[in-house]
Amino acid sequence: MKTKHLSLILLAALLPLPSAAEPPKDDTHAVVLLDARLYAATKPLLDEYVKAAAKRRGFGIVVDSVEGLDDLPFEKVREKVRSLRKDHPALEGVLFVGNVQLPSFYSPRGDNFQTRYLPHAYEDLDLVLEKKLKPGDRHVDSTDPKHVVPEHDFDFLDRGPEPGVELWAAFLPVGLADAKANTYEAWAKQLEPFFRKAIAFHTGKTAIPRRLYKVSNQLWNLGPAWAYYGPQRIDFYAVNPRAKGSVKAGTPAEKFCALPPEKAYVRAPMENFPTWEKFQEWYGRHEWMGEGWQKDTILISHLNKTSYDAAWLNVHSCEDFSLVNSAQARAVTKGALVMLLSGCGVGGYRQPGNESFVDTACAPENNILCAWVYGSSQSLAALGDPFNRGHECYYERMIEWLTKGEYLGLAHRKRLQCHYEGTPPPAELKENLMEMLIGDPFVDIKGR
């Protein structure tokens, strides 16, 4: 008996220490960062949202409220994000709630003289940011004396020592058109519709529609979407009835499709084709759709009648308009969980109290992306470019990743990485990385 007891003691000594003795693994994949003053005004709803999103995603989401965060300059906020990444090794992204300051960027390419905010500054933390152009000088790429360099924070960006997208960044901007109305209580009220919609989604009270909408004069590769949804559940608008080569050279874009909107803005009969390849081949035998056939009332009727996982609007746009204006977007009753806007400038707005100059007076209240997210529709997130774009948005890739089960923030980060990999050195990255995610980065369209 003594020998048996001694053997057990020796065996116990050789076993590893209980796991309880090991430090717990940090499972924080995301941080919600906001000013303590806004947190105090939003705490019950924000906490409920974060709890529901963390449960649905299956990973840790931490709320970090900072005293006076909205008063900190960009460099200090960036330092804070760097420290968050150091504290949470598994960190994938940060949701900035409220009036957290963004830096301004001037002229992302030689023919674009806009000054807008730069969200990517919080996604690549060793991104090289410089101010090379002097305010008051004429732009080096312009012969027009009106193109004088304005005040701005940066006009050059390029790869850092560790090139690549380190984090996704998502934003819930606040700000009302009436400057006197901008208080933390008013901003909390501005965010309330979003929180209620997001809580309903993450707790399973909002069904995933399993349907895709796209209005565009270009097709892109919807093959992965076809495989996931099937042709019956993709509403694609539209196809020019004219055969390729039948439109005379020099025809204005508005004349490519001669039909009135009610006959042009018509769903393509995808279900008539056995495969995506056959539909794509058929589409390619038709003329370009051109411009001017899209109509706001038709889009509104579609999005009031049917719910979608994602709606892709490829139309000429600006800060407060993308086929519909911001007031119309706020009033839509169904819509899509994710709005993908590939028109120009839809991410442009001016933050209350931000001294960094931008060339738009559009308040977040009237911004078209915010209108979808804070309005009556089911939209939880909207994506677009603060500048007039001249690059691909890779929305077709994001749709593919979302249908494979990834969540929106990660899909956004991966499409930005596509820009890094598609822009080999020594080419500058500043044109390609001007993309913005407003709303819920944790939304998905497949479910867990």
> Which residue ranges make up each domain of the chain?
212-439
Residue 435's closest CA among 108, 27, 13? 108
Tokens 């969980």 locate to 337
Q: Residue 190 in 3-state DSSP?
A: helix
**First-residue to last-residue Cα distance in the chain:** 54
The whole-angstrom separation of Cα 287 and Cα 297 is: 25
Pick 448 or 67 by higher pLDDT. 67
pLDDT tens per residue across span 204-250? 999 999 999 999 999 999 999 999 999 999 999 999 999 999 999 99
pLDDT at residue 7 is higher than 50: no
The whole-angstrom separation of Cα 354 and Cα 84 is: 23
pLDDT at residue 13 is higher than 50: no
pLDDT tens per residue across span 50-107? 999 999 999 999 999 999 999 999 999 999 999 999 999 999 999 999 999 999 999 9
- The pLDDT assigned to 390 comes to 87
The whole-angstrom separation of Cα 416 and Cα 407 is: 15
pLDDT tens per residue across span 352-386? 999 999 999 999 999 999 999 999 999 999 999 99
Q: Are 348 and 366 in contact (CB under 8 A)?
A: no
Tokens 């090139």 locate to 163
With bands split at pLDDT 50, 70 and 90, how would you rate the model's confidence at 146? confident
The whole-angstrom separation of Cα 445 and Cα 448 is: 9
The whole-angstrom separation of Cα 314 and Cα 215 is: 6
- The pLDDT assigned to 41 comes to 98
**Residues contacting residue 446 through CB under 8 Å, at least 6 positions apart:** 208, 402, 403, 404, 405
Q: What is the mean pLDDT of residues 385-406?
A: 96
Q: Are 106 and 116 in contact (CB under 8 A)?
A: no
pLDDT tens per residue across span 25-58? 889 999 999 999 999 999 999 999 999 999 999 9
φ, ψ for residue 109 (rounded to 5)?
Answer: -155, 170
- Give me the CATH code for the 212-439 domain, please: 3.40.50
φ, ψ for residue 290 (rounded to 5)?
Answer: 80, -160
- The pLDDT assigned to 22 comes to 65
What's the chain's average pLDDT?
A: 94
Q: Are 195 and 45 in contact (CB under 8 A)?
A: yes
Q: Are 198 and 49 in contact (CB under 8 A)?
A: yes
pTM of model > 0.95: no
